[in-house]
Amino acid sequence: MPFDTPSSPSASYKLSPVVVLTGASSGIGRATALAFAGEGADLVLAARDREALEVVAAECSEAGARVLVQPTDVTDPGAVQRLADAALERFGQIDVWINNVGIGAVGLFDQTPIEAHRRVVEANLLGHMHGAHAVLPHFRARRCGTLINMISVGGWIPAPYAAAYSASKFGLRGFSEALRAELAGVPDVHVCEVYPTFVDTPGVTHGANYSDHRLRPPPGLVDPRRVAQVLLSIARRPRRATYVGVGARSGILAHAVAPNLVARAMMWLTERSLARSEPRPHTDGNLFLPSAGHAIDGGFGASKLAGRPSAVAGMAATALGAAALMGWWAMRRRRA
């Protein structure tokens, strides 16, 4: 469905809404840029690597979109403000702003450089805050607009060996809730959260790794193109929170009623996976430099299984649900 209908009676979208997208050079970002381009949106693409952005912009232009490339490091608030200013200068308005940047550093907390932890929080949490701070005055002035924060199921469930990532994602959830409360008096300004499970992007191989082992995501990965379609849907019909991937809701429920059990299970699964992986030297990955490689897919096979959750993922979801029920039953027993 093209963007020919406003998301609310007072939302004055043009026929071609203006979408600002950070983290647009690879993975979910690149898939999202192409999805919006195919639906007639005007695009402002941001990431650190201009050359990679130009490749994505050329693909979007071929699909008929008008595209502005604006190299941006979201950890720099001035750069993010210049991104918003450039979008307004080129297109006159911003209708949708998608905070999509996400990086990680894998390793035991006290064995990972503190500079790496700091960088993860700067990109994942402060980067989203910088984006919101740059665009919300425009949304308030127009009294409409949609801000989408790409969070993760990691915003609900702790991720051992990724403490800074967990901190940033839990923080993003609280940040989004607070913004929504502040904007309650402007009902056509929407703050939306997206919570995918593991997605088959290059993020795992691009990220920092201090674990001493090769990293590989678990089975049941989500195709990044599916996440892109979810973002399209939210841009058309904003909603508070959207969960993507098998096990997302059951995992959140399990953690709500049995947090210690889920935490121990996550640690056991992580250590078991690392123990089976071959050794790898430490790397800072894309923490301080742009990513090397800008594909949509991570190469772990999700695109071949699009729309078909794996049996392993299904069993994991069932196990988490069972854990939730066990936790609920145990709590009832203690209170009886």
Residue 310 has pLDDT above 50, yes or no: no
Report which of residues 220 and 130 the model is more confident about.
Answer: 130
Q: Is residue 149 domain-resident?
A: yes
Name the band, by pLDDT with cuts 50, 70 and 90, for residue 96. Answer: very high
Q: Which domain holds residue 35?
A: 18-335
Q: Tell me: the pLDDT tens digits for 116-140?
A: 999 999 999 999 999 999 999 999 9
Q: Is 1 exposed, middle or buried (0-12, 13-18, 19+ CB in 10 A)?
A: exposed
Residue 299 has pLDDT above 50, yes or no: yes
pLDDT of residue 14: 54
pLDDT of residue 334: 52
C-alpha triplet 37, 42, 43: angle, nearest 5°? 75
Residue 336 has pLDDT above 80, yes or no: no
Please state the φ and ψ torsions of residue 204, each to the nearest 5 degrees.
-65, -45
Mean pLDDT, rounded, of the chain: 88
pLDDT of residue 193: 98
Residue 303 has pLDDT above 50, yes or no: no
Q: How far is CA 237 from CA 131, 144, 245, 261, in A?
A: 21, 13, 20, 36
| pTM exceeds 0.85 | yes
Q: Is residue 8 domain-resident?
A: no
Q: Is residue 11 domain-resident?
A: no
pLDDT of residue 254: 85
| CB neighbour list of residue 21: distance below 8 Å, 6 or more residues apart | 29, 32, 33, 36, 43, 44, 45, 46, 98, 100
Q: Is residue 186 domain-resident?
A: yes
Number of structural domains (the chain) is 1
Arithmetic mean of pLDDT, 87-107:
97
| Dist CA 275 CA 318 (whole Å) | 25
What residues are paired with 43 via a beta bridge? 19, 67
Per-residue buried b or exposed e for 151-189, using 16+ beta carbons within 10 Å of the residue's own CB: bbbbbbbbbbbbbbbbbbbbbbbebbeebbeebeeeebb
pLDDT of residue 129: 98
Q: Tell me: the pLDDT tens digits for 3-17?
A: 654 444 444 445 589
Q: Tell me: the pLDDT tens digits for 3-53?
A: 654 444 444 445 589 999 999 999 999 999 999 999 999 999 999 999 999
Name the DSSP class of 108.
Answer: -
Q: Is residue 4 domain-resident?
A: no
Q: Tell me: the pLDDT tens digits for 271-284?
A: 999 999 999 999 99
Residue 199 has pLDDT above 80, yes or no: yes
pLDDT of residue 242: 97
Residue 332 has pLDDT above 70, yes or no: no
Of 56-70, 106-120, 255-269, 317-331, the poorest mean pLDDT is in 317-331
Report which of residues 318 and 110 the model is more confident about.
Answer: 110
Q: Hey, what are 103's tokens?
A: 């990086």
Cβ–Cβ < 8 Å for 215, 277: yes
Residue 21, classed as helix, strand or coil, is strand
Q: Is residue 59 domain-resident?
A: yes
Max distance between CA atoms of the chain, in angstroms, equals: 65
Q: Which positions are annotated as active-site residues? A: 165
Cβ–Cβ < 8 Å for 118, 70: no
> Helix count (H) and strand count (E) of the chain?
11, 9
CATH of the domain at 142: 3.40.50.720
Q: Is residue 130 domain-resident?
A: yes
Name the band, by pLDDT with cuts 50, 70 and 90, for residue 291. Answer: confident
Please state the φ and ψ torsions of residue 148, each to the nearest 5 degrees.
-115, 120
* Strand order across the 241-244 sheet: 67-69, 42-46, 18-22, 96-99, 145-150, 189-196, 241-244
Residue 318 has pLDDT above 80, yes or no: no
Report which of residues 289 and 306 the model is more confident about.
Answer: 289
pLDDT of residue 65: 97
Q: Is residue 147 domain-resident?
A: yes
